[in-house]
Amino acid sequence: MGEIWNFETRPEKPLPYSDEFSSVDEYVEGLLNFAANSDLFRFLCGGVHILDFFTTDPGLFVDAVPKEWQDYLLQTEPMAFLDFLMRDDLDKISQKSGPVSPPESLVQYVKDIRRFSLRRNFRPRQAKLPVLPRHVALGMKTKKIHEVTHFAGYIDRLAEDIARAKGEDFTHFVDFGSGQNYLGRTLASPPYNKHIVAVESKEANMAGAKDLDILSGFAEREKRVRNKKLYHRLLEMVDPSLHKDEEALKRAAKELGMSDEDIATLDLRSRKELQVTYTVEEGKGTIEYVVGHLEHADLAGVLAQLRGQEDGVCQDKLRMMAISIHSCGNLSHYGIRSMIMNPCIKAVAIVGCCYNLLTEKLGPPTYKPPFSRPSLQPINPRVARESERRDPQGFPMSEKVSTYGGDGIRFNITARMMACQAPQNWTDQESDAFFTRHFYRAVLQKIFLDKGVISRVYHGETASAATPFNSSTNPVIIGSLRKQCYTSFNAYVRGAITKLTTHPDFSQYHQVIQEKMGDITDEEIASYEETFRYRKRELSAVWSLMAFSACVVESVIVTDRWLFLREHSDIVCDCWVETVFDYKQSPRNLVVVGIKR
Ligand SMILES: C[S@@+](CC[C@H](N)C(=O)[O-])C[C@H]1O[C@@H](n2cnc3c(N)ncnc32)[C@H](O)[C@@H]1O
């Protein structure tokens, strides 16, 4: 990277990769090679759709999971299997007593996923961080307090370190997707006293954030000046249930024949219309809000809304850091890319989340053996549409990942969604609840197929026998059902039928479900449950393998962001990734840091 800057906050390694690799380049090469070429990984990350688990005979497990793995997977208790994947010492595994021992190829696969997954353990670099005062912690749950405490401390140290090295302080911190502005409010408060620009797309979140600013003494809401006598006269004549509804009071005042001048003296503006004013004091932090849905990394529109920046003349005095806790999907890309696109953004520190919300840049995948179709997913118009968009803002960001092996590395929505699972944190109860839900859903899809609610779709030539590789079924997206629907398979099927025949969002299914499923008996439902009950372990084992393997999906997504910064070495003088939260408290715990030359 040319000139070497000595940042004290820089971790030893630019990515938290396993000690099995001797350099970051060796790790990246190994990771990308595995992600692009391991058929098992490609099958487990994007190739399986739970809906098609039982729609072919003998089924996805028997057809697609390696034969030598099957006995071990079926005979291992779900929690013991999760221990095997994520916690057991694999070199001692053969000494463990169990009904069957894991085959060598499975042990090797688990070792690969473990070594290519970025390390997630967290040791705070600062032993003691300031405790959030009560008025600043308002509204935060334990998880948010953990995140905000650690990330505010992290940003403060990073900013100080960069300022020391560069000889210039940061003027502002731009929070991408500020939500309730917990982070911004903390950074604007003592001891940090930073100037915050909170960018948020949802007006309701921003209104909530401003309410918290008022409660925490950061801001004041404009006081109403009203003709009290007239106002009380109006209240006496209006139903008490309407006393807090300014619009209703305005209407009532008109109906009672009050003149426009009199009504004006009542100041019946809604709460939203009242100005919220922020005190600006020398040495204290400030907060400015910008409402807007960012669609790219160019911040010209945001900057133009800042106090004193309307004409853009002072923008060359801005030295800003782009920050965020859990900017979802592409918003993280905008935050990272903002340093490349805006002269005033001098550094970034972005913790992403919701990889399912990323768009795809490379378009649909090409066919590759051994799969006779690009993915084993059921035909899902949204999945196809999303990849077809070829969104330049989407994944991957870096040239390296975009062109790896000639064709680049892609992750479809199933793979990206699984990358948000955090299986290391699953408890016995939670995982059993997941497995049961997916099992119910997969068996219901089989019923839908048998009853003719959905049909089989062949990919390529229509073969005589349907397999998971040449066919799929069209999905019926049911979404979640009421809690009591998960108490038994019968309750689940009945709940799904009710939703699909009555809910206005599912009108396209009303008739077909009524016709094909309306007369299903309890005995029939029970016989499906009986037929598939003993196969639940097939599903729990594959779901566990999918979530575990997707730790590598997350590692590729984060590595891609780091590679993008490294590829801009003409602009970026240093960049790294490290953990900033305890994984148990907050599993999306990797920050991507970039510093401008
Ligand atoms: C997961 S929340 C995190 C909120 C906050 N950073 C926190 O830690 O509490 C992500 C926030 O980003 C906002 N958001 C998502 N996409 C956005 C976009 N394109 N532009 C602006 N805000 C966005 C959402 O409305 C949401 O409030």
DSSP characters over 332-389: HHHHHHHHHH-TTEEEEEEEEE-GGG--BSS-SPPP-TT-SSS------HHHHHHHHT
Q: Is the pLDDT of residue 329 over 90?
A: yes
The residue assigned the tokens 């997954």 is 117
Instruction: Please calculate the CA angle 568-121-175 and round it to the nearest 5 degrees.
Output: 50
Residue type, 345: I
The CA distance from 506 to 184, in Å, is: 40
* 462 band by pLDDT with thresholds 50, 70 and 90: low
Return left, alpha or beta for 17; rule: phi > 0 is left, psi -120 to 50 is alpha, else beta. beta
Backbone torsions φ then ψ of 520, nearest 5 degrees = -65, 135
Write down the pLDDT at residue 175: 98
- Atom of ligand 1 at shortest distance to CA of 353? 1
pLDDT digits (tens, 9 = 90+) for 274-309: 888 888 888 899 999 999 999 999 999 999 888 776
Pocket test for ligand 1, best of 148, 176, 334 (most atoms within 8 A of CB): 176
What are residue 173's DSSP bridge partners?
196, 321
Nearest CA to ligand 1 atom 4: 179
- Atom of ligand 1 at shortest distance to CA of 334? 19
The CA distance from 478 to 26, in Å, is: 44
Classify residue 211 by burial, with Cβ atoms within 10 Å: 0-12, 13-18, 19+: middle
Q: How many residues does the chain have?
A: 597
pLDDT digits (tens, 9 = 90+) for 398-417: 999 999 999 999 998 889 99
Write down the pLDDT at residue 475: 84
Write down the pLDDT at residue 504: 93
Ligand 1 pocket check for 324: Cβ under 6 Å: yes
Ligand 1 pocket check for 227: Cβ under 6 Å: no
Pair type for strands 276-278 and 219-221 = antiparallel
Nearest CA to ligand 1 atom 1: 326
Supply 433's token pair: 């609840």
Backbone torsions φ then ψ of 372, nearest 5 degrees = -85, 0
Kindly give the distance from the C-alpha atom of residue 176 to the centroid of ligand 1, in angstroms, as a whole number.
7
- Global confidence as pTM: 0.91
Pair type for strands 172-176 and 195-200 = parallel
E strand or H helix at 594: strand 590-596
